Amino acid sequence: MRVPSRAMAAIDSERQAAIDDRLQAGLLEWYGVQGRDLPWRRTSDPYAVLVSEVMLQQTQVSRVVPRFEAWLERWPTADDLAAAPAAEVLAEWSGLGYNSRALRLHATAKAVAEQGWPDDEAGLRALPGIGPYTAAAVTAFALRRPAAAVDTNQQRVLDRWDGAAGRTAVEVRRRALEFVPVDAPDAWNHALMDLGATICTARTARCDACPVASDCASAGLVDPAAERALRRASRQAVPFESTPRFVRGRIVAALVEHGEIALPALAAALPAGITAERIDGALSGLVRDGLVVRAGDALTLPT
């Protein structure tokens, strides 16, 4: 007897729901034993969580830990950071890279100092300098409300679980929210992060060590080497010293060291070999982004 398509859909839905329940329970149980102990996971202070999330963008966890602790020692609250000169904020940020993150964090602190902390994800998203991922992270980790903090690592795990690829960010976030437990949004998001960082990584898929491999659609089928080959084919490797970001970083570092530099003397304050054209391009971008102030030939960091 043929099973009606509507009944088949209901059966498939029930089967998927059971799989999702096992994925959720298995990952949370694993995290309870294997989860990483990180300083920002010991607090629900939204400011501390925000600082950690901004620092963790494009920067390795091992580098962030000491800088996070030093930052909170210097500016323990959003009010403290808001009152600091931008030049000091950039100087403290030096070495973490992507200096615009420091100014965005500074702008967020100023808004919070004036308005207070929002109490939901939409309110956080409305703050200057906060994007969808950061708003979701602060919601889950500080407000302890259901939210899906999904970056490329979490998306990779979710795609492998479902045997899916090519989903949009909105589709992945919607799928991720289906897993988030109302009573433990922080633990769930941390667990998914840790699985992607330690077991289901971009370089290796350690399915033999995965706590939920039995319910993963891609278990034993992932070829990280092939995935890396596809990523390499889509971009051409460029030495960091040849990138605009390198020059931008050196200009900011020089201004942190000297305070003010006359434009004609800028090249001498930078590593040898950087052409005038690259300096001009990087400087124009820094001025446009508010990271450097130019008054005539005088260059300074913002106050």
What is the CATH number for 99? 1.10.340.30
Q: What is the CATH number of the domain that holds 252?
A: 1.10.10
Residue 202 resides in a domain:
no
Contact between residue 151 and residue 192 where contact means Cβ atoms under 8 Å apart: no
Q: Is position 53 annotated as part of the catalytic site? A: yes
Share of the chain above pLDDT 90, in %: 60
How many domains does the structure of the chain reveal?
A: 2
Instruction: Name which residue leads in pLDDT, 27 or 295.
Output: 27
Residue 225: what pLDDT? 66
Average pLDDT over residues 83-112: 94
Residue 4: what pLDDT? 45
CA-nearest of 119, 105, 121 to 52 is: 105
Last residue in a domain, options 124, 141, 158? 141
CA pair distance 57, 283, nearest whole angstrom: 23
Structure tokens at 267: 């090249």
User: Minimum mean pLDDT among 10-14, 55-59, 105-109: which range?
Assistant: 10-14
Residue 293 resides in a domain:
yes
Contact between residue 47 and residue 38 where contact means Cβ atoms under 8 Å apart: no
Contact between residue 103 and residue 287 where contact means Cβ atoms under 8 Å apart: no
299, containing H or E segment: strand 298-300
pLDDT in tens, 114-162: 999 999 999 999 999 899 999 999 999 999 999 999 998 999 999 999 9
Residue 2: what pLDDT? 45
Last residue in a domain, options 141, 164, 184? 141
**Mean pLDDT across the chain, nearest whole number?**
89
Residue 253 resides in a domain:
yes
Last residue in a domain, options 85, 111, 141? 141
Candidates 14, 29, 53, 171; catalytic one: 53
Residue 16 resides in a domain:
no
Residue 208 resides in a domain:
no
| H helix runs in 165-243, sequence order | 169-177, 185-198, 224-233
Instruction: Name which residue leads in pLDDT, 74 or 8.
Output: 74
pLDDT in tens, 36-86: 999 999 999 999 999 999 999 989 999 999 999 999 999 999 999 999 999
User: Minimum mean pLDDT among 10-14, 105-109, 198-202: which range?
Assistant: 10-14
Residue 38 resides in a domain:
no
> For residue 55, what are the domain limits?
45-141
Residue 79 resides in a domain:
yes
